[in-house]
Homo-oligomer: A and B are copies of this chain.
């Protein structure tokens, strides 16, 4: 894809190597909106929150944003008062540099936990970030927020409201474990749609719930997880009708879904991306619990790695998921191969064919509870030897 395709009117981005990452790679990014943008955010539910999360939640409250400054290499988490002060300084320096208000700057950090940010490096980098701002450097920003991610993650959509085109671009970094600490997900979405803060926030929450909240790598939630959106309004579409709003949410969901599945695909050591779909649930919550429990089961995830249609592990996960499962009504498919009917295995031939499906890089595992009309899903990955290596051996 041509880099030009990623331009969203009103926005510029840049990235530099500030020296926070040991390997000397890009580790700071700035996203700037030339006009006052409408903003919204969704933040980690972890009670241990990194300083930049606390700050950005505070700054986004009024719905007005001009810039996002982000760094990799250091999460600025579990850093106490010094950490809060450093996060505030990052916002302040960017604000002064760009001539905007401090409250209009959002801050995100990802990387090592428990060590103070090297603020002299951050201070030196910010003028360079400002000087480097350009319409077509969003991919560089995607590179600068990577930690153990193996590829930068960017997604882009265009759609139309009436005769007015609008754009949605998003970058994300994934649940590759941050050396040496934890999985952090960051996602920044830019759009030129004209929209009010309340509708933007509502749209983002709904989309996050159907995308980023439907992925799991290892069941751990980071102290730094953040999804931010900024809308420049330059598409000039005027007030959104209900059907316009749906068009926007669709485009937003496509971008978020792209990025969410890229994150799982790039999970540490992951070799495949599997959609766990639960159907026939007696209620929504049970469908969600069942999908989450199966998607997070270590036994299921190692079986996915081994291409093993080990349905007993799936049944056991359903049984402990605190849903009213009736074991003799459960059907299970791997792709289009049914391996369980009414709670009983369909035998070696079916399992052999299912094992073939499991050799694919991406497939669906479908569980039909046959107890109602509700459904839900999760995207998960397998757990491989490399997952253990990445997370055990980083200091050796």
Contact = CB atoms under 8 A, between A and B. Distances in A.
A213 interface: no
How many protomers of this protein does the assembly include?
2
Interface in A73-96: 75, 77-80
A234 interface: no
B298 A218 contact: yes
A159 to B, nearest CB: 36
Interface stretch (A34-42, A220-228, A276-284): A220-228
Contact of A313 (B49, B182, B318): B182
B305 A388 contact: yes
Contact of A312 (B77, B303, B310): B77
B47 A78 contact: no
Given A80-B328, A345-B78, A395 B308 contact: yes
Nearest to A322: B47
Given A114-B344, A313-B181, A320-B47, A308 B392 contact: yes
A214 to B, nearest CB: 17
Q: Which 9 A-B pairs have the closest CB atoms?
A: A48-B319, A113-B312, A306-B392, A302-B391, A46-B319, A114-B345, A181-B312, A221-B320, A47-B319
Given A47-B324, A75-B312, A80-B344, 7 more contacts: A112-B312, A113-B316, A221-B320, A222-B316, A298-B391, A308-B394, A387-B388
